[in-house]
A and B are shown apart, each in its own frame.
Chain A
Amino acid sequence: MKYFFYFLFLTFFHGYSQNGVITYESIIISDNSTSEKSKKKLFFNEKASLYRDPIAVSSDKKDGETTENRSTKTIPINENTTSETIRITYTPHDPDGFQYYFDTKTNEFTCRELLFSFAKKEYKPYIYTDSYAGKIEWQLKNEFKNISGYQCQKAVADFRGRIYTAWFTTKIPLPYGPWKLNGLPGLILEVYDETGTIYLVAKKIEIPKDVDNLLKKPTKGTRIIFREFVEKDSNKSDEITKALKARLPKGGKIISTKTENTGKFELEYEWEKG
């Protein structure tokens, strides 16, 4: 009788530990920097998912992901030279990077993001809880496409100022997806926003794969309320674009008030709408 119990316990445990990794390719194209192509991993089990940069210890680093780490520059010699650009890319040297942890129990994201401090010229990690993100209202469309043999249905949602089109398949019955995009009755294989700035696609699916030791809520960083984090972030980037604009030469007409596509994922927030 005792043995039977053990056996039961084992099957039980096994049943609930179906886990795996989805490798996504993330292509972010913004107007003022290089198009960024990188690999991200989505670790999951039945209870949670974690979307983040691949962990650097493995040999993953070599297979193609490039984080732009070069700074190119053209130096203006005088007012008349038209070449004016200086591109600066600060690369965070933080091994934990950006992380998005989703807990199915609370339906909440715990996120770790880095903010650049212009004063200190370095990135600082913050951790916040995003409770709205797990509740995206997807509209299902009667449109399908085939991705590598998987029939995918189209779903559309407006999430924080961008309209996303997601292609998901019920053949892989996971409610997960890349970044903060999830909550469909099947895995999101491809998702992009209307402007084409953001493009995320699943490239590799490995189920099962033991990732339970990696699947942890991010902890290294300063705890902050989401809204405060957003304010901190937007102040910074506004400041940069304004500073650039105010530094145009006299010939450079002060006409364009078009907000530039900076490759930011989130453009507006729930509390900003009326």
Chain B
Amino acid sequence: MTARPVPVQNRRLRVIRGGQHLRPTLGTWLVFTAVAILLFFALILSRVALDKPALELSELRTQIEAGQARYQQLRLEVAQLQAPDRIMSRADELGLIYPDSLQILIADGVGDGAPAAGDRFADVKSILTAAP
């Protein structure tokens, strides 16, 4: 059990000089940058692709609204042009007058079986509901 000196271990720190081959090369940086840029643009592209239909939809909606407004304006214009008061004024301007006497001709079959007012309106309504 004699004491024996413990062998002194060399515990000096060791410098590892292997860093040069681990440092990213210029090529790696370029590839990384390119990928990053591509990803960035891909992201933008995806956003644009996603937003585009929404914008188109919005544009279409605007067009529909404008079309409807135009349709209503045209309906109004037609109604105003057909107004009896306007037609009478125009007839007066053109020098049209009532005849002194009337001769009424009655054609067989005409007028009999003519559609009722309600049915005539149904025809008109079917056109109107096809409005934009």
Whether both chains belong to one complex is answered with no
Chain B residues at the A interface, C-beta cutoff of 8 Å: none
